[in-house]
Structure 1
């Protein structure tokens, strides 16, 4: 169950009265959930008492309930409670290995319930006789406890018979917004054109051998020498870097490549990026894999990064075909909070995909718009729609992806009266610069007049450190994470700076 925070005593009393009337406490009962009574940890130690705590303990006493959880969150509070009738034997421990990133306020719990008479429990008895014949890994999704994230985590340890059979009628349930710690189901991962096929290792290589090989490849994939280490200040004032990166067919399988994972994580950390708008995300699991590595690094190159005070999160809409998202650090040098996440207007769906996020960054309220243009996009339509979107009262930053275009004119960089950070002549394509092709303008960051005064004048196109020997490059080694370069811009957080480009 879940009780919202900061309710009145009357509401809490009504909730406990309802539980007493709705639940038969004469039989074994387990009641788990977020009760949002922050003073419990202090009251149980006797350092204080409150009227709400007295109401809670009276509820326990009247119904012969026992509280089992005493594990504190990072604020030294107990919000999640495990209550049972006295007849049940329960142990509650801290769950160290989690499938999703932990919320600061809600530590993962391992709850063990002792079942005394197994013969009386139908879902336990007799399951040894049940057998399944799986022909492809995705068949596991038909088992209720298995969702897409769990499957992606265990799939690399599985080997199944090959089968050409498809099951087009099966689709996993979908939610509305996908985030760390709040995601339970996701869309099926889309395979990129000609993507690599997962095969069992038949050459005798163990996982430890593969790790040793990767460490060798990583050692010969040097990271760039930084001109400066961004300390989230500029001219003595707090500042932040916002970035955009088309990660090109970013599937869970691609994100699981340790070379890709190392490059994405180190690029974010080295350049001091706090919010990254990403395009071409084929699976929400791919963003989770990156955030997990940033929060609890397993790769040596990521783990050795000196600044570890972060809490990385992701968000994207669980809408069919959606490929846009954000990765952001909610607990770094600057507090960042996601307020809302919405789709763009229906009238522009033929022209582009749009994801609109409202963030509170420090003391600023920013509208961050992630936009990927289609090849058939009409300038006039988008110009009018973005004008409607832009308000003189709001601080708006637009991350726009032109990868579907062969050329970009200056008119595209002035949508809705916005001003670009980079000129249209700026090459943001990694491949065109390395292969001697004509420059291609892929990504830009556009700002409205309200944000212009926040721009520090420091920005960049990241061309170094985006390759790795563990990433395929055709039949060669050392491919790029994406054919497109990440771009970033720096902004003051104090609203009085007035230093426009």
Structure 2
């Protein structure tokens, strides 16, 4: 059965909400997990409300570092917009922490809920580092029972300048098959599994274009922000 070859790495990233972050992957597709961990953070100063989950993978001939994030939501009246902007400003520091822990590894992919449209100036620092958002602004990634077409572009996949070279240009948002007769929908059934749609991007995995060489083994790299 295919389920025997599906694996998941999942770590607690938000203590208050018991929110977990991780990756589901299929070894039958030539994917091997090298290591996975949460970003190490000082207890007094938390650059992220929910700790980013960082995993290193070998995917056929491609080595890469995947970072799953869930940035701070702005809530009603955008009352937490300052906190969200601070977390976005810390993303370049997160990237530097990964590059410090993995010398020569330039295939870095950031993915998850960024809680802000990609074309906003808040992401200028990320763009200045050569990063590209795969999902374009205006391609909506949210969904609800009342609005199946969505209205926001919050979920995305940001890829480094080096990863662009193996990006096929193919990406999209999954909007079909997200409801179930077992999910409540008000006083009835048939609701959506989440208000976020899955997003995907396609990459060539036959070769690796950087000098990083991830080693398969039990060692887990520690990723921490520097002052």
The answer, yes or no, to whether TM exceeds 0.5 is yes
Which of the numbers 181, 188, 195 marks the counterpart of 1:476? 188
1:316 and 2:10 equivalent? Answer: yes
Cα pair distance change 1:316/1:367, threshold 3 Å: same
CA drift of 1:450 comes to 1.4
Which of the numbers 419, 433, 446 marks the counterpart of 2:132? 419
Structure 2, unpaired ranges of 5+ = 74-82, 210-227
Q: Which has the higher contact order (CA 8 A, sep 6+)?
A: 2
Cα pair distance change 1:389/1:448, threshold 3 Å: farther
Deviations 1:340-392 (A, max 9, x none): 11211416734342000011111211101001101423156314413414646
Partner residue in 1 for 2:143: 430
Which protein has the larger Cα radius of gyration, Structure 1 or Structure 2? Answer: 1
Cα pair distance change 1:412/1:462, threshold 3 Å: farther
Does the 8 A contact of 2:133 with 2:156 survive in 1?
Answer: yes
Cα pair distance change 1:343/1:495, threshold 3 Å: same
Does the 8 A contact of 1:410 with 1:424 survive in 2?
Answer: no
CA drift of 1:488 comes to 0.4
The alignment of Structure 1 onto Structure 2 pairs a total of residues equal to 186
**Separation in structure 1 between the aligned mates of residue 148 and residue 58 of structure 2, nearest angstrom:** 41
Partner residue in 2 for 1:329: 26
Which of the numbers 16, 23, 37 marks the counterpart of 1:342? 37
Identify the structure with the greater helix proportion. Answer: 1
1:4-15 map, 5 Å: none
Cα pair distance change 1:425/1:336, threshold 3 Å: same
Give the secondary-structure state (helix, strand or coil) at the position aligned to 1:452. Answer: helix
Partner residue in 2 for 1:39: none
Identify the structure with the greater strand proportion. Answer: 2
1:49-64 map, 5 Å: none
CA drift of 1:496 comes to 7.5
**Separation in structure 1 between the aligned mates of residue 156 and residue 145 of structure 2, nearest angstrom:** 17
Partner residue in 2 for 1:386: 94
Partner residue in 2 for 1:410: 120
Taking only aligned residues, the RMSD between alpha carbons, in angstroms, comes to: 2.9
Partner residue in 2 for 1:80: none
**Separation in structure 1 between the aligned mates of residue 95 and residue 208 of structure 2, nearest angstrom:** 25
Deviations 1:277-304 (A, max 9, x none): xxxxxxxxxxxxxxxx961xxxxxxxxx
Which of the numbers 443, 452, 476 marks the counterpart of 2:155? 443
TM-score after normalising by structure 1: 0.34
Ranges of 4+ aligned residues in structure 1 off by more than 2 Å: 317-322, 347-353, 389-394, 407-417
Give the secondary-structure state (helix, strand or coil) at the position aligned to 1:480. Answer: coil
